[in-house]
Homo-oligomer: A and B are copies of this chain.
Amino acid sequence: MAALEPMYRDLANGQTLLSPRVDNIAPTAHPGGYYGFKHMGGTWPARKIQALRINSDVVTHPLVAGKPRRVKQPLAPGRDGKGRWVGLVLLFSTETGALLAMFPDGVMQRLRVGSASGLALKHLAREDVSTLALIGTGWQAGAQLMAARAVRRFRKVRVFSPRAESRAAFAAQHENIELVDTLEACVEGADVILAATSSLVRVIEPQWLRPGMHIGCIKLQEIDGEVLGRCDRVLVHNRQQAKQISNVLAGTPNVRTESSEGWWKDPKHSYPDLGDLLAGKTPGRCEESEITCFANNVGTGLQFAAAGAAVLEKARRMKIGTELPDDWFSEDVHP
């Protein structure tokens, strides 16, 4: 969060650049799957960093507990024949152009999503919140929990996901949480509800919302216009960044559910963003009784520039990583 906060202020003050987030969706051989190539860039001159984050995935939409989910298949070759995912962060110097570092995006990916939600929660949730309801027990849910606990002292954390084995695995990684096996038990009496799922349909129900509550989501589909209509103050992660999905090819299944229809296409759901909040251009919570919402609507390459710059600095200090010859990633002809 400390690494990201100054970047958001620069963003709100027009001192950064975003590249459009682009998703190319194409046919692939994997049954029921499609190939998704995504990239997002960010230029942060104050830190002299250009970042590009790249994902190259075979994506499927299986039904889990009766609901469709977005699941990336680990099909890239790895040691011992175990499949792996492909997500990379590249960092370049805006002073020399050089490629400074290249690393997998997975750990940073969830930390930057969690950090954004945590920074928003810090300014939007009541100071005296006591009970956190966390929906989801995957990779992202862990980061949401860590971030929420970093900015508020919760006396109780209730965690739900549809599968008992997923809940148990989550409990092995996080202390002082209560596992529950229904959504209703999870959200009962909660001050904060955080959805951290890969659901392609609504997860947070409008009737759960009570005065003074804060809710958050990490995927647009986890909430809808009805939920937003009950909130008094809504912020999104980034209001400039839109997803550009290119999918003109025949034979690509299932993609419409990911993108085209939803509250985010409706101009009435235009909200200030986290940059505005952290730069003091829009207020956080103003009243005890407000229902606040942070929709972590879309990621940006700038998150990877900010988190990446911090990681690179730390890796250099700790002498972690593999140094590769500069000449491999540069050339002696004017391109």
Whether B139 lies near A334 (C-beta < 8 A) is: yes
Q: Which 4 A-B pairs have the closest CB atoms?
A: A87-B335, A104-B331, A84-B330, A76-B98
Determine how many copies of this chain the complex contains.
Answer: 2
Within residues 18 to 60 of chain A, which ones have a CB less than 8 A from any CB in chain B? Answer: 18-20, 22, 24-30, 35, 37, 39, 41, 43, 45, 50, 52, 54-58
Whether B88 lies near A329 (C-beta < 8 A) is: yes
Does A105 interact with chain B (Cβ within 8 Å)?
Answer: yes
For A105, the chain B residues whose CB sits under 8 A away are 331, 335
For A94, the chain B residues whose CB sits under 8 A away are 26-28, 35, 37
Does A14 interact with chain B (Cβ within 8 Å)?
Answer: yes
For A327, the chain B residues whose CB sits under 8 A away are 78-79, 84
User: Within the complex, what minimum Cβ distance (angstroms) separates A287 from chain B?
Assistant: 35
In the complex, which residue of chain B has the Cβ closest to the Cβ of A25?
B17
Question: What 1/0 flags go to A209-229 for Cβ under 8 Å of B?
Answer: 000000000000000000000
A86 to B95, CA, bound (A): 12
User: Within the complex, what minimum Cβ distance (angstroms) separates A30 from chain B?
Assistant: 8
User: Within the complex, what minimum Cβ distance (angstroms) separates A317 from chain B?
Assistant: 20
In the complex, which residue of chain B has the Cβ closest to the Cβ of A330?
B84
Q: Given A29-B95, A39-B41, A334-B138: A326 and B78 within 8 A (CB)?
A: yes
Does A107 interact with chain B (Cβ within 8 Å)?
Answer: yes
Could you name 9 residue pairs across A and B whose Cβ atoms are closer than 8 Å? A17-B24, A24-B50, A27-B45, A39-B52, A75-B96, A78-B327, A79-B326, A85-B333, A139-B333
